[in-house]
Structure 1
Amino acid sequence: MFAALDLGTNNCRLLIVSSDRGRLRIVDHYNRVVRLGEGLYETGQLSQAAMERTMVALRHCASKIEGKRFSAFYAVATEACRRASNADHFLSQVLYETGLNIKVISPREEVELALAGCNSFLHDNVLKRNKTKALLFDIGGGSTEIAWVKIDFARRKYILIGCFSIPVGILTLREQFNIATLQNYYQMFDFVLSKVMEFEAIHRIQAEIVRNQVQFIGVSGTITTLASILLNQNKYNRAAIDGLSLQTAQLKEIIRTLLDQKFKETEILSDRYKKRIHYLLPGCAIFDAIHTLWPVNDIVVADRGIRDGIIAKMTTNKLRNYYKNHHYLLNQ
C-alpha cells in the first residue's frame, strides 16, 4: 500500500491506495477543511485555533495509517507552512503528537506533483491531441501555482517549460480583500492579473493561444465546484467531474451567476453553494484573471492534485529519495 498526505492552507487531505499488478485501488481517503492559514495574511503566523483544528485532522489521519503496512508514505505541507514564522514549531509538535513527519515543499515541487497527478490524462486521451501545450493552474488556499507545459503525445510525456507561484489563494485573498461589493471582486481580479502578467512577459503564452495550441488543466476546488454547479449536481460526484472537458465560456457564465447571487441577491443557487460563496468568489477572481490574460477555449477539470501526484511518483519509485527520510513514525 501507498499513502500520501497533503497539508494545505485550507484543507488536510489523505489518500491510501493499494497496488495490484500496476492497477491502483483506493483503500481509504480523507478530506477536511482546517483553514490552517486563517489569519496568516495579517499576522504572518499560524493561529492557535487554526493549529488546534489542524491537529485534530492530523490525529485522524494518523489513526487511519497506524497499524497498516506501507511500501511508502509521504506527507507534505504547502504555502501556509512555507510562509508562517511558527510553522517549524507546529510541524515539530505534529511529529511529537501524531508521528507524522511532514515536509514543507517548494512551489516548484508543488507544481511537479500536481502535474504528476494529471499525467494519466495523457494515457486516457482526455487532453486534445491537436494541441501541443497546456497551461495547468492549481488554485489553493494560500497560493496559486501555474505550469506551462509542452505535451509529447507520441511518448506520452510532458515537459515542464516553466512554473510560477502567486502568493494568493482562496483563503488569503479573502482576508486581503473584504468582499463586500462588486468593486472588491474586481480589485481581487486586478491584483491577480498584475501578478500573472509577469509570467506572460517571460513565456509569451498568448502567441501560442493565437495559434490554437493551448488548453487549460484546472486543478482546484474552485474549478471542480464550478463544474459541479454547471452539471447541476445535487451531491458532488467525482467520477463525473474528474477529466471532464468543458468550454471555459461555460465556467465564466457560472461565475456571472455567482456574482449575481452575491451582489444582486438573486435566488439562483442551492443552499449547498450559497454557504460556500464567500470562499468561491476569491477562487473565481483568480480563474477570471488567468482566463482574461490567457483566453483559452478548452479546459480539462481535474479533481486530483498533490496527493495523486505523490502516489503516482511513489508507485514508479520516483520519490524514493524523499520518502526514506519523510515517512510515518509512530511514537511509542
Structure 2
Amino acid sequence: MSEVLRDAGHGLLSGMSVAVIDIGSNSVRLVVYERLSRSPTPIFNEKASCGLGREVLTTGRLNPDAVEKALAALRRFRVLCDRMGVGKVYVLATAAARDAANGPDFVAACTEICRTEVEVLSGKREAQLSALGILSGVHHANGVVGDLGGGSLELADLQGQRIGSGVTFPLGGLALQDTSGRSLKKADKIVKDLLTKDPHLEHLKGRTFYAVGGTWRALARLHMFQRGYPLHVMHGYIIPAREALEFCRLVRQVPIDTLSRIDTVSDVRRPLLPYGAVVLEHLIRIGKPTNVFISAQGVREGLLYELLEVEERQHDPLITAAAELNEVRARSPAHGWELIDWTDQFMKSSGIDESVEEKRLRHAACLLSDISWRAHPDYRGEQSLNLIAHASFIGVDHPGRAFLALAIYYRHMGLIDEDLSPRIRELVSARLLDRARILGAAMRVAYILSAAMPGTLPLTPLSVERGKLALQLRGELAPLSGDRIANRLRTLARLIGRESTVLAG
C-alpha cells in the first residue's frame, strides 16, 4: 500500500473537485470535495433545514413551504458550485422525495435547477450507500450500519468488504413526530413493533452498531460535551452500548431544554433528539451490540467510494490522507517515506513487539512528522498536536488519533509532558503512549541527522546490534556526529532499555 502512494508523487493532488447535494427529509446539504479520492477532503459544507419530510406520511405530499425552501437552497448551491468551478455535481434525494405523491414534480424542478440528474434513492440503495460510507471510513468494520434521517431508518449488515441486503423503516425523526402525533409514548410503540421483527438485529449481538445521521451525531455531541471528552471529533467517537442506552433514556425522559450542555445542539435539531433516542434505545435493546460507533461518513461518502476504481478502494484512507498532507506541507515529502523505512529497520532490530495496526499508525506518523515546520519552533509541538488530533482523517479511531498527535508532539518538544493536556494522554493505552514516546524520540534523532532532507537516512541506519542501539555514520557522513546526536540517541536508547553508540569513521 505505501509503495503505491509513495510512487504517486504529485499525482496525489491531481483531479477536479466534486460536489454531492443530498436532498434529505430534514435538510438539504451541499458538500464540495477537493477531488475524488480514497480520503475525500471537504472544502465547502453547507446545509439548509427545510423539513421536506414533515407530514409526508400523513398527508402524502411535500409541504409547499418546505419545497420552496429546498428549491431556494438548490439555486444557491448551483451558483456556488459554478463559482467554485466544481467539475462534477451529484444529486441524491431520499425518503421524502421518493414517498410523496408530488415527489416526481419536485424532483423535476430539482433537476432543472441543478442541471444534472437527480438520483432518487430506494430504501435498499440508501442502506447500501450508507454501508459503503462506513466501509470507506472505518478500518476493518464489522457490525450493522444504521442511517437515521428525517424520514426513514436504513439498516445494513457489514462485515469486511461484504455488505448485506439493506432494509428501510419509516422511523426518521420527522416521520415519527408525524405518525405518533408528537407523542413519545406512541413513538416508542411504533419503533418497538417495527424493529422487533427485523432479522438484521439478530446478528448484531457482540458487534458494533455504526450510527449514521445528523440526529445521532447531535446526540453523540451532547454526550461528548456532558462527559467533558477531550477530543471534539465526531467520526470514530465510541459509546459503550450500556452507556448509550442509559443516555437515551435520559434524553427521552427529561425536558430537552433542561439537559446539560444542550446549547451544543442547534435549535432546529433539538426537537428530534428524543425520537432519535427512542430509535437508538430499541436498536440497542434488541440487537445487543457492544458499542455504538458514531460516523461522520454516510451516503455522500459511500457514493464517492463507489465511484473510485476498484484498485483505489483498496488503499488505506489514513495513509492516503497522511501522504497528502506530507505532499503539501512537509519540507521534503520524500523524507517522510525514508523515515518509514528507517524506523522499520529500527523497530525490527529492537525486538519491540509491534502489531499490524501499530505499524500502520507509525507509518502514518512518519508522513505527518514535518507538517508544522513553518510554525514558530516553540509552538510546533502544540500546533502539530492540535492539527493532527482534529484533522478530518478517516480510517482511524480516537486512540489512534491521539497516538499520532502525541508522537509528533514528542518529536518537536522532546519527552516533556508538563505542557501537554493529560486528557489527550488518557485516550491512549500505556502501551500506545510508550510507543508514541519511542517514535517521537527516534524522529528527534532522524531530523537532527537529516535536516529534513532526503538522501541521508538511507545512509545512516539505526539498529540494535550486539545489545546496543547503534547509529552508523560512515565515510563522508562521519562529521555529523556530535553531542546533540549522542544525547538524543542516548534518550532513545534509555526508552528501550539499551545503551547507545555512534559508529562513526
The alignment's TM-score, normalised by the length of structure 2, stands at: 0.53
Is the contact between residue 190 and residue 289 of structure 1 (CA under 8 Å) also seen in structure 2? no
User: Is the 2:126–2:299 contact (alpha carbons within 8 Å) kept by the matching residues of 1?
Assistant: yes
On the 8 A contact 1:134/1:215 being kept in 2, the answer is: yes
Superposed CA offset, 1:221-252 (max 9, x none): 22211211111179xx9961111122122222
- Superposition deviation, residue 107 in structure 1: 1.1
Q: CA RMSD in A?
A: 2.8
Residue in structure 2 matched with residue 270 of structure 1 by the alignment: 262
Higher mean alpha-carbon deviation, 42-51 vs 113-122, is at: 113-122
Unpaired segments ≥5 residues, structure 1: 128-132, 152-157, 319-332
**2:93 aligned to which of 77, 81, 85:** 77
Q: What does residue 145 of structure 2 align with?
A: 136
Structure 1 residue 206 and structure 2 residue 199: aligned? no
Who is 1:189 aligned against?
188
Instruction: List aligned pairs for 1:214-293, cutoff 5 A.
Output: 214-232=207-225, 240-262=233-255, 268-273=260-265, 275=267, 276-293=269-286
Q: What SS does structure 2 have at the residue aligned with 1:224?
A: helix
CA shift digits 1:15-52 (9 cap, x unpaired)? 11123885533221222211111221221011110100
Cα deviation, residue 198, structure 1: 2.7
Greater alpha carbon shift after TM alignment, 253-262 vs 189-198? 253-262
Cα deviations by residue, 1:110-141 (Å, 9 ceiling, x for unpaired): 11211121123443x6x5xxxxx411101110
Q: Which residue of 2 aligns with 1:168?
A: 171
Letter in 2 for 1:232: F
Query: Corresponding residue for 2:291?
Result: 298
Give 1:207 shift. Answer: 6.0
* Counterpart contact for 2:222–2:264, Cα < 8 Å: no
Asked if structure 1 preserves the Cα contact closer than 8 Å seen for 2:239 and 2:291, the reply is yes
Check 1:2–1:315 CA distance in 2 against 1; reply closer, same or farther (3 A cut). farther
Q: Paired residues, what number?
A: 292
Q: Which amino acid aligns with 1:101?
A: E
Structure 2 counterpart of 1:146: 155
Say which SS state the counterpart of residue 181 (structure 2) adopts.
Answer: coil
Q: Which residue in 2 is equivalent to 1:105?
A: 121
Structure 1 residues 291-323: Cα deviation after superposition (integer angstroms, max 9, x where no partner): 1111112121102211111222223389xxxxx
Give the fraction of aligned pairs with identical amino acids, expressed as a percent.
Answer: 21
1:141 corresponds to which letter in structure 2? G
The structural deviation recorded for 1:69 is: 4.5
Corresponding position of 1:321: none
Q: Which amino acid aligns with 2:40?
A: L
In terms of fraction of residues, the more helix-rich structure is 2
Aligned residue for 1:223, secondary structure, equals helix
Matched, 1:37 2:59: no
Instruction: Quote the residue 1:130 is aligned against.
Output: none
Amino acid at match of 1:270: I
Report if the CA contact (8 A) 1:118-1:305 is conserved. Answer: yes
Contact residue 221 and residue 265 of structure 2 kept, 8 A: no
1:177–1:188 Cα contact (<8 Å) kept: yes
**Structure with greater contact order relative to length (CA < 8 Å, sep ≥ 6):** 1
SS of 1:35 mapped into structure 2: coil
Kindly indicate whether the alpha-carbon contact (under 8 Å) linking 1:258 and 1:277 is maintained by their aligned counterparts in 2: no
Equivalence for 2:41: 25
Q: Per residue, is there more strand in 1 or in 2?
A: 1
Deviations, residues 79-120 of structure 1 (Å, cap 9, x unaligned): 001111111111212233443431211111111211121123
Q: 1:296 to 1:247 in 2, by over 3 A?
A: same
Inter-CA distance 174–23: structure 2 relative to 1 (3 Å threshold): closer
Give the Cα separation in 1 of the matches to 2:36 and 2:190.
47
Alpha-carbon offset, residue 168 of structure 1:
2.4
1:324 maps to which residue? none
Give the corresponding residue for 1:316. Answer: 309
What SS class does the counterpart of residue 62 from structure 2 fall into?
coil
- Using a 3 Å threshold, how does the CA distance of structure 1 residues 208 and 71 change in structure 2: closer, same or farther? same
Contact kept, 8 Å, 2:221 with 2:264, in 1: the verdict is no
Change (3 A) 1:51 1:292: same
**Letter paired with 1:252:** L
Matching residue within 32, 47, 71 for 1:16:
32
- Paired residue type of 2:244: L
SS at match of 2:166: strand
Which stretches in structure 2 are left out of the alignment for 5+ residues?
1-16, 312-505
Contact 1:10 1:171 in 2 (8 A): yes
Amino acid at match of 2:306: K
TM-superposed CA distance for 1:68, in Å, is 4.7
Measured at CA, do residues 170 and 22 of structure 1 come closer, stay the same or move farther in structure 2, by a change above 3 Å?
closer
State the distance in 1 between where 2:310 and 2:28 align.
24
Which residue of structure 1 aligns with residue 384 of structure 2? none
